[in-house]
Chains A and B, each alone.
Chain A
Amino acid sequence: MNKTPQLLTAAALCAASFTLFAQQPQPPQTPPQSQQPTEVTVPIVGVGGLPPKLAIAGFLALSNDAETVAAAKTITDVLYDDLKFEREFYIIEKDAAATVPMPSSIDQLPIDRWRELNANGVLIGSIRKTGTGVVVQLRVVEVNSGRTSLGKEYSGSIANPRLYAHTISDEVHQQLRAVRGVARTKLTFSSDRDGERMKGPVGDREIKEVYIADYDGANPTRVTVTKSLNITPAWSPDGQAIAYTTYRRGYQDIFVSFIHQGRFDVPAAGSPARQNYLPAWSPDGTKIAFTSNRDGNPEIYVMNRDGSGLRRMTNNPMIDVTPTWSPTGNQIAWVSDRTGSPQIYIMNADGTGQQKITAESYCDRPTWSPDPFNEIAYASRSGAGFDIRLYSFKTHESVRVTDGIGSNESPAFAPNGRHIAFTSTRNGKQQIFTIARDGNDLRQITRDGNNGYPNWSR
């Protein structure tokens, strides 16, 4: 299948270490992810506790060919979207930024002009062709002092300019805000966009295949080619495999596809009488929780990723389905209708301590947030459709995230816990959207065909 995009070689051409500013970086508004030691000694600081105002001057094409010029524009455009996504900066809008002339070299930034726009920092870069590919330079300048806050140089292929923007965005978030960005993460989902059909008893049926795409929906790539129904894909935590539910053998079974190697495992070893679906990886990637009818009724099971060590977690004559792991791997949340309607339950990872945490009309697809948020997102019936809600273990209460438009289902957390991917019918067909966990920044990710069951890589 598709080769993993070649990693950019990041040559750390770090900026001059000015130590005049002993000012500490402001604490980010949300708790930071695991911090790497920062290389930044000139922080970009906002005024009065507000997020820093960052201007994107753009990327200079230092080679004149059309490909390099187009790549420079792509990197600039994508960087706007990437940097706005985490809302750690106030990004000066494009039309305002366009009033400042672009210098002919990244060393000649018209800093006074940016100061007039009240920018706290300016990001500028360049791209030039080399014998083997391109070199992309990045510089973030602190406007008050005119000193370089962050400087980097990357080299690699020109085939996917967006990847430079994503890499730069993640770097800027990490170095300047101590936040783990998700611009290089990927979504997997199920889609009928290729319009293929399989034979049904009455007429042909629209089938779905598993796809992956960048977190913003770009570069969609098909993973399965079964001409069957393939749903509920889930990234392994190491990003090497996708577990999904497939009907290619005429019944539901879990395949684990090693997407970079073109091979798959069938760990739950299904059969018509032992069907398996809705796989969920444990956070350390060693186990898979799933639903199976092997004992005559939908129940939750856990197995090692190679299928050994099978353990039944639930034992109830009603439905038990849709497991998700806590970030520590010590607990599992799932859905049961044992009290009459589907509700979210949690239990210890050995099946003990089962307890109901929702009391609504209908809840499904719990997805446990990564640290540090102690939350479960789920779909909750609301009116004729569903809305995404967030249950907090701190308050034992839930809040609505989506706005009641269309039906909103199948939430999946971004690996930094700050965003949720979900499906919505708000624009007609079912599409994948992302939204910040506070309900802001709704973005439509897919547009072709129907798309469902999103899952976010770690």
Chain B
Amino acid sequence: MNLRMQIEMKDKRYVLCVVMIVVALAGACGKKKPPVARPTTPPPAAGPTATKPPGPPEPVPETASIPPEPKISDDPLLTKDLDVINKNSPFQPVFYALDSSELDQAGQQALNGDAEILRKYPTWVITLEGHCDERGTAEYNLALGERRALAAKTYLVSLGIPADRLRTVSYGKEFPFDPGHDEAAWSKNRRAHFVVTSK
């Protein structure tokens, strides 16, 4: 089953690459227009393309007009260094249930938003860190954290994000985000966390 999914993903990735090249070319042509002066608000969600996930449907605004390009120099995320970006990350982490690496609906929604950011910054390479709470054993948690990171990666690839932009690493229960010993802390520590590793 895993293998089959991967093959499907590879196909999708290939299709996506083609789509992205087309989109990129279109963008290049668009550059001839004078940029529309508009502040930093991000553009509405990109138009309907093949990159849309099989996940929960997202309302797609049927706008005929081409959204204005953001002024590159105004985007703080492009000029900030990685440490600053990661300390106040634009990415939503994915949270998991106890002893589980299943993506629930909230997790998929978080990843849908994260995929948008990854599309907006196509040179960014990220590492998905898999983490676990302290209630599992140290050794098994290394594998569980890996499964969590891989589950998030697999979903992002299914959304068309190239796999070579998505690294994974599992820290098991070695690096809890919240050092507490209650469910409030544990629920924060069962996660796949995004770290931008290069821009």
A residues whose Cβ falls under 8 Å from a Cβ of B:
199-202, 205, 208, 229, 231-232, 245, 247, 250-252, 272, 275, 277-278, 291, 293, 296-298, 317, 319-322, 335, 337, 341-342, 362, 364-365, 379, 384, 386, 409-410, 423, 452-453
Contacts and interface: CB of A to CB of B under 8 A. Distances in A.
Contact of A319 (B3, B83, B143): B143
B80 interface: no
Interface stretch (B28-36, B53-61, B65-73, B164-172): B164-172
Contacts of A275: 146, 168-170
A208 B138 CA distance: 14
B139 A297 contact: no
12 contacts: A201-B87, A201-B129, A275-B168, A277-B142, A296-B2, A296-B150, A298-B147, A319-B143, A342-B137, A364-B139, A365-B138, A410-B138
Contact of B1 (A231, A250, A272, A317): A317
A252 B171 CA distance: 9
Nearest to A319: B143
B74 interface: no
Contacts of B142: 245, 252, 277-278, 291, 321
Contacts, number: 99
Given A201-B89, A251-B167, A317-B1, A452 B193 contact: no
Contacts of A384: 135
B137 A364 contact: yes
Nearest to A365: B139
B174 A298 contact: no
A297 to B, nearest CB: 6
B150 A252 contact: no
Contact of B140 (A229, A247, A342, A423): A342
A294 to B, nearest CB: 12
A247 B99 CA distance: 23
A321 B169 CA distance: 16
Nearest to B140: A364
B147 A278 contact: no
Contacts of A322: 139-140, 143
A409 B147 contact: no
B187 to A, nearest CB: 16
B140 A321 contact: yes
Given A272-B168, A319-B144, 8 more contacts: A231-B174, A251-B169, A272-B167, A275-B169, A275-B170, A297-B147, A298-B147, A364-B139
Interface in B127-168: 127, 129, 135-140, 142-144, 146-147, 150, 167-168
Nearest to A423: B138
Contacts of B168: 272, 275, 293
Contacts of A293: 146, 150, 168
A297 B146 CA distance: 8
A296 B139 contact: no
B150 A341 contact: no
A386 B141 CA distance: 14
Given A297-B147, A317-B1, A335 B174 contact: no
Contacts of A298: 143, 146-147
Contact of B139 (A199, A208, A321, A341): A321
A386 B137 contact: yes
A229 B142 CA distance: 13
Contact of B87 (A202, A291, A386): A202
A319 B3 CA distance: 15
Contacts of A250: 127, 167, 169, 197
A291 B174 CA distance: 18
B153 to A, nearest CB: 10
Interface string B157-199: 0000000000111110011010000000000000001110100
Contacts of A452: 138
A317 B2 contact: yes
B137 A410 contact: yes
